Amino acid sequence: MSWRRRLINTIRRRTLDRAIDDELRFHVELRAADLQRSGMSADDARREARRLLGNDVSLRDRTREADVWVGLETAFQDMRYAARTLWRAPVFTVAATLTLAIGIGINTAMFAVVFGVLIRPLPYVEAERLYALFQTSARAGRTRVTPLDFVDLQAQVRSIRVAAVVGNGFTFTGQGDPELAVGHLASGEFFDLLGSQPALGRTFGMADETAGNSDVIVLSHGFWQRRFAGDPGIVGRTVTANNRPFLVIGVMKPDFSYQGARYQFWVPLTLRGANPDKLPINRNSRYVQVLAKLNPGVSREAAAAELRSVAASLAQASPDRNGNTSFILSSLSEETVGGVRDALNLLFAAVLLVLLIACSNVTSLLLARFTVRRPEVLVRAALGASRGRLVRQFVIETLVLYAVGTLAGILLAMLLLNLLRTIGPGILPRITDIGLVMPVLGFACVTSLFAALVFGILPALQATRGSSAPIGARTATTDRSHQRVRAAIVVAQIAVALCLLAGASLVARSLLNLERVDKGFDPEGRLTFAIVMPAARFPDAPAMHAFYARLLETMATRPEFTGVGTTTAFPLSGQDLENSFAVDGYAAQSPDQEPVAALRGVSAGYTSAMGIPIRAGRTLAPADDQRGAPVALVNETFVRRFFGGRNPIGGRISVGGPEGPWRTVVGVVADVRHRALATEPRPEVLLPWVQLDAGFLTAWARGISFVVRSDLDMAAAASLLRSQVRQLDANTPVIELQPVSALVEQSVAEPRFRTFLLSSFALTSVCLAAVGIFGVLSYVVSERTREIGIRMALGARQRTIFREILAIGGSLVAIGSVLGLAGGIVLTRWIRGLLFQVSPADPLMLAAAALGLIVVALLAALIPARRATRVNPVVALRG
Amino acid sequence: MRPFHLDNRGSRRYPSDQGMSKASPSLPYGTLDLLVLRTLIGGARHGYGILLQIHEASDNLLRIEEGSLYPALHRLETTGLLKAEWMISENNRRAKYYGLTAKGRRQLAEEERNWERVAEGVSRVLRFA
């Protein structure tokens, strides 16, 4: 109880003071009355009564100390005092607060990103038990699963539950313009595994699958709002997609998404028996994504072991297709955010270093400031303040400063996060999960409290050192010990800033290399777009052929288009399909050397429309059609890997197995960076699209991508080709229409974003370090004004003084740079994974970073050095 | 006989507050608290009343340093041994009256026992040593 009463008394100080005064006054009055009764005069009695009570100020204080929480009360006093002192030194306060706000602000913002993207569990029930399941084989690496393998796996596996998911585009017609939306075909377990509840209606489940309810649809909240205007009666209505009626059974909540907001609806997927989407059901089309959830109490290792045995039994059942195949699990969160983890960790480490520099700058400022307040310290020490008491006061002043800096930093973080929300989508996953939530704010507060204590104790100790020294002792030179501390801080700052700068320059160099890498095609002056052929209207390959042929023909007649082509997998679009091949004359030494290559169906004009150079032989010709001989193009990597030294032209390859049909290689095309600019090209085979069989065509249900080369400006070319498509078929929407250069842009957006952030952080740190060196040298000059004055009066030349000050700065920079380079070489090794075609210890980049930093630091040192030469001996000596 | 001065030495919180009454013989720590608690057994009193009562009851043998009384009262109040109330005094003024709490009574009983044991021990030593 006592602490509560003390707390109340501490807070209600004025009330307490008045009560004590009243009580003591009452005492004095009674005593005086008694004394008067015994014969004293009124005045004497009053005086005597006071005397007996003793020193009333001291008594009141001692009485009060019994009532209040002394530590807390003095802390309040110190805070008030600190606020007053800071208020009276606005330049210092603003400089320190800004520095802290920058350090804490970018830290908080960055932590919000790390927390939202990497730390927060995915927004599903028991998300830690969710995994993505892949099929692996030595030949093809990690791939999606074939439909029949999924069916068998699901029937056999006991330790996990699995759901099949296939992304697909559906054309919605009926209400308003025809629109192509991307959604998921998902098996009945899908919503159950995620544990997600709808906002309206219901989701579909196993019951729908067994009852054969394949014509139901669940809409995403965004899609419902946009296309159906948020119609509250949508559940129970029928919508038309791909010319099929779907019964709307539910709408998901606004925060539900799976693999991003791009996927806007969910439709049941049937892999047993005929499916209305005409997906190929076989053992070699690996297009099924599998979501897996560990059953309660099952460890990942146990599940992996069971998957191995299931794979083995599948291989026994059908040895032709499942040999060498296994299933592996990868955590769903890793699949979602794994791509940005390294970059985010690097950026977070970088902002911690920036915070380190910012805090040390504030420490340096505090050191200088507390030194100026030395007389105050000495007076208070002489009046009996203990060192601990003085240290506490300085620490509290630092805490107040950090508190203000933290508030400003959190405001800055809000601004930065708002900025991120406008530029982030498409660059960062889970962008909607990023925010200034409680744990993030807690992190900001704890970090700055920790920093305030660590970085505040040093100046406080320094300021109160030897507080018994005589007051007003005057010497020409002053105590240098705190200067040594500040010099050490500057050296450390330079070193850290150089590490950051080195890292940033390597990442920047990587970006440059990435942008300059030989892509294998020419993105300039080219447009790409896609149309999707709804299975219901184009049920078979001939129907699709007819439509594409007509479209290609129409466009080829327009003089505005100098090239037109199609492909089943556009570079950098994320579409890819790998297939096994047989190569005549190539014998694999081991199973993992069996020929596997990415397979594309392209039109005759594709390579020239895309600007892909032909290295040998010829490209595809219109004559290479169903009636012509089967032919193929291969890329350089394919030639290197599977033709050895032989001439590939005229060589024979076969999709699938050695039973054929064999295709003749008629040309070699340049390697295209298909998956990402930073990914090495893989073996690739280009087949005439018209020679593909119906199974392959329907497997690419998302559609065929077009490339159009035109000298028109892109907007004009776009509207022209839209009208061309519309003339041909008004119900076929043009989608994903964009310049090819935009795809390239997109693929470098994340590296560019990360480079931009890291460079900003590095530049911030360089600026802070420059401010640091400027501050220290300015202080050196102001402290040595008297000494410099004397020397100049004795004939020292300005140049000598100038060089001397610059030399101090120069030596600090030199030591810092050496340490920074050493640190840079060690630290940049960790970011090897983020570099592209540049070595972590690239001497050129390190030297450039060091040079840049040295120039900036010396520029910062110039100003105080010049000021030193302007010292007027007369003024200096009189002062 | 010279009176005992009960100063801060008699209170537990400020054992080192020296120089106020070096000339007088002093009492062990905690004596002031004990006397205050004992005085209040007959009912609530204000500070000056407690002072007079101790002087009177000890035939002026014990004198309390007035400067020590109030810090001691406030300490006993915050630790919950006393409860204080503002009331109208005999001369029609507002005065702060202190009274024993249940906790204070228990504390008093215990300290009385302690005191008797210590006093008995000390006097035995003085008699036989």
- Within 8 A by CB and 6+ apart from A664, the residues are A629, A630, A631, A632, A650, A651, A652
pLDDT of residue B23: 37
Q: How far is A396 from chain B (nearest CA, A)?
A: 28
pLDDT of residue B24: 45
Q: Give the other-Cβ count within 10 Å of A323's Cβ.
A: 14
Per-residue confidence band for A191, with pLDDT thresholds at 50, 70 and 90: very high
Please state the rounded mean pLDDT for residues A604-629: 92
Which region among A261-265, A532-536, A664-668, B79-83 has the lowest average model confidence (pLDDT)? Answer: A532-536
Q: Are residues A216 and A277 in the same domain?
A: yes
Q: How far is A815 from chain B (nearest CA, A)?
A: 54
Q: Does residue A133 lie within any of the structural domains?
A: no
* Global pTM value: 0.73
Q: How far is A878 from chain B (nearest CA, A)?
A: 49
- Within 8 A by CB and 6+ apart from A219, the residues are A228, A234, A248, A250, A251, A252, A264, A265
In chain B, whose CA is at the least distance from the CA of A7? B78
Q: Does residue A674 lie within any of the structural domains?
A: yes
Condensed to tens digits (0 to 9), the pLDDT of residues A36-60 reads 888 888 888 888 888 887 777 777 7
SS3 B50: helix
Mutate to test the interface with B, among A26, A48, A69 (most CBs of B within 10 A): A26
Residue in the block written with tokens 């806007």? A264
More confident site: A815 or A79? A815
Q: How far is A395 from chain B (nearest CA, A)?
A: 28
* H-helix or E-strand spanning residue A625: none
A805 burial (CB, 10 Å; 0-12 / 13-18 / 19+) is buried
Cα separation, A292 vs A272, whole angstroms? 19
What DSSP state is assigned to residue A273?
S
More confident site: A466 or A6? A6
**Minimal Cβ distance to B96: which of A23, A53, A67:** A23
CB B82 within 8 A of CB B40: yes
Per-residue confidence band for A421, with pLDDT thresholds at 50, 70 and 90: confident
Q: Are residues A559 and A693 in the same domain?
A: yes
- Subunit contact B91:A30, Cβ cutoff 8 A: yes
Q: How much is the mean pLDDT over chain A?
A: 85
Last residue of a domain, one of A713, A732, A751: A732
Please state the rounded mean pLDDT for residues A123-142: 84
Condensed to tens digits (0 to 9), the pLDDT of residues A270-301 reads 887 666 666 667 776 677 899 999 999 999 99
Q: Give the percent of chain A with pLDDT over 70.
A: 91
Token representation of residue A687? 């087949």
pLDDT of residue A214: 80
Q: Does residue A456 lie within any of the structural domains?
A: yes
Q: Are residues A306 and A376 in the same domain?
A: no
Condensed to tens digits (0 to 9), the pLDDT of residues A346-403 reads 999 999 999 999 999 998 888 888 877 878 888 888 887 788 888 888 888 899 999 9
Q: Using an 8 Å CB-CB cutoff, list chain B residues near A64.
A: 74
In chain A, whose CA is at the least distance from the CA of B52? A31
CB A165 within 8 A of CB A187: yes
More confident site: A289 or A590? A289
Condensed to tens digits (0 to 9), the pLDDT of residues A82-97 reads 888 888 888 888 989 9
Q: Using an 8 Å CB-CB cutoff, list chain B residues near A35.
A: none
Which region among A238-242, A287-291, A353-357, A874-878 has the lowest average model confidence (pLDDT)? Answer: A874-878
Distance of CA A333 to the CA centre of its chain: 14
Please state the rounded mean pLDDT for residues A829-857: 87
SS3 A616: strand
Cα separation, A123 vs A337, whole angstroms? 13
Q: Are residues A276 and A175 in the same domain?
A: yes
Condensed to tens digits (0 to 9), the pLDDT of residues B20-32 reads 343 345 566 678 8
Q: Using an 8 Å CB-CB cutoff, list chain A residues near B78.
A: 2, 5-6, 9, 66-67
Please state the rounded mean pLDDT for residues A764-782: 88
More confident site: A98 or B122? A98
**Minimal Cβ distance to B71: which of A33, A52, A66:** A66
Q: Are residues A869 and A745 in the same domain?
A: yes
Parent domain of A43: 2-68
pLDDT of residue A840: 84
Which region among A171-180, A244-253, A852-861 has the lowest average model confidence (pLDDT)? Answer: A171-180
Parent domain of B97: 4-128
Q: Where are the alpha helices (DSSP H) in A438-480?
A: 438-463
Tell me how many domains chain B contains: 1
Q: Give the percent of chain A with pLDDT over 90.
A: 35
Condensed to tens digits (0 to 9), the pLDDT of residues A299-311 reads 999 999 999 999 8
In chain B, whose CA is at the least distance from the CA of A9? B78
In chain A, whose CA is at the least distance from the CA of B98? A23
pLDDT of residue A60: 79
SS3 A847: helix
Q: Using an 8 Å CB-CB cutoff, list chain B residues near A19.
A: 96
Q: Are residues A539 and A616 in the same domain?
A: yes
Cα separation, A416 vs A110, whole angstroms? 9
- Subunit contact B95:A53, Cβ cutoff 8 A: no
**Minimal Cβ distance to A63: which of B65, B74, B95:** B74
SS3 A198: strand
Which residue numbers of B have CB closer than 8 Å to A's CBs?
A: 13-14, 46-48, 65-67, 70-72, 74-75, 77-80, 89, 91, 93-96
Per-residue confidence band for A326, with pLDDT thresholds at 50, 70 and 90: confident
pLDDT of residue B4: 56
Q: What is the DSSP string of A707-759?
A: EEEESS-HHHHHHHHHHHHHHH-TTS--EEEEEHHHHHHHHHHHHHHHHHHHH
pLDDT at A723 over 60: yes
pLDDT of residue A612: 95
Instruction: Please report, for residues A273, A286, A322, A344, the alpha-carbon distance to residue A283 in angstroms, rounded to integers and kept in the order given.
Output: 14, 8, 8, 39
Q: How far is A469 from chain B (nearest CA, A)?
A: 28
In chain A, whose CA is at the least distance from the CA of B20? A54
In chain B, whose CA is at the least distance from the CA of A4? B78
Q: Which domain CATH number covers B69?
A: 1.10.10.10
pLDDT of residue A260: 75
Q: How far is B116 from chain A (nearest CA, A)?
A: 28
What DSSP state is assigned to residue A383?
T
- Subunit contact A63:B96, Cβ cutoff 8 A: no
- Subunit contact A54:B79, Cβ cutoff 8 A: no
A175 burial (CB, 10 Å; 0-12 / 13-18 / 19+) is middle
SS3 A487: helix
- Subunit contact B80:A66, Cβ cutoff 8 A: no
Which residue numbers of A have CB closer than 8 Å to B's CBs?
A: 1-2, 5-6, 9, 19-20, 22-24, 26-27, 29-31, 33, 52-55, 58-59, 62-67
β pairing state of A614-617 and B82-88: unpaired
pLDDT of residue A138: 63
In chain B, whose CA is at the least distance from the CA of A29? B48
Per-residue confidence band for A851, with pLDDT thresholds at 50, 70 and 90: very high
Q: Does residue A134 lie within any of the structural domains?
A: no
Cα separation, A607 vs A670, whole angstroms? 10
Mutate to test the interface with B, among A23, A55, A57, A72 (most CBs of B within 10 A): A23
Q: Are residues A686 and A539 in the same domain?
A: yes
- Subunit contact B70:A59, Cβ cutoff 8 A: yes
Which region among A172-181, A323-332, A617-626, A670-679 has the lowest average model confidence (pLDDT)? Answer: A172-181
- Subunit contact A26:B89, Cβ cutoff 8 A: yes
Mutate to test the interface with A, among B16, B73, B74 (most CBs of A within 10 A): B74
Q: Does residue A329 lie within any of the structural domains?
A: no
- Subunit contact B77:A67, Cβ cutoff 8 A: yes
Residue in the block written with tokens 């377990």? A189
Tell me how many domains chain A contains: 5
Q: Are residues A196 and A281 in the same domain?
A: yes
pLDDT of residue A701: 44
Q: Are residues A579 and A699 in the same domain?
A: yes
pLDDT of residue A263: 83
More confident site: A448 or A432? A448
Asked, as a colleague might, if the bond just before A661 is cis with ω within 30 of 0, I would say yes
pLDDT of residue B15: 38
pLDDT at A700 over 60: no
- Subunit contact B78:A5, Cβ cutoff 8 A: yes
Q: Does residue A475 lie within any of the structural domains?
A: no
- Subunit contact A26:B48, Cβ cutoff 8 A: yes
b/e per residue, A457-495, with b = 16+ CB within 10 A? ebbbbbbbeebeeeeeeeeeebeeebbebbbebbbbbbb
